[in-house]
Amino acid sequence: MFLARVEGAIVATKKDPSMEGRKLLLLRPQLVDEQNPGRFRSGQNTIVAVDSVGAGEGELVLFCQGSSARLAPNMKAVPVDAVIVGIVDTVDVRGQQIFNARHHEELGR
């Protein structure tokens, strides 16, 4: 599993029939900064993921990719490579909380 920030939504009116009714979100992976482990740094790429938990823009989420994505409920026969499987409440690194969703912010910024 990986961490990512939801950057936005994607609308595709023409798609594989098995994708009908599935919410697509644009994710930016979040990595613990090697120089300052008390904060995240954004990954260089963006990822399109199917939302299975009701995530929204700006939230920090857990997602899985590849064959693991197809193990999420109702995804076995769907051509997906990434699925959001959780919405993050807190992240602790080396005993320090660096993210708290209740405060809607990354700590240590």
Rounded Cα–Cα distance for residues 108 and 98 (Å): 6
How confident is the model over 6-63, as pLDDT tens digits? Answer: 999 999 999 899 888 899 999 999 999 989 988 999 999 999 999 999 999 999 999 9
Thinking of the domain 2-106, which architecture would CATH place it in? Answer: Beta Barrel (2.40)
Q: What is the pTM of this model?
A: 0.88
In 3-state terms the chain splits into helix, strand, coil percentages (rounded to 5) of 10, 45, 45
Question: Domain residues of the chain, as ranges?
Answer: 2-106
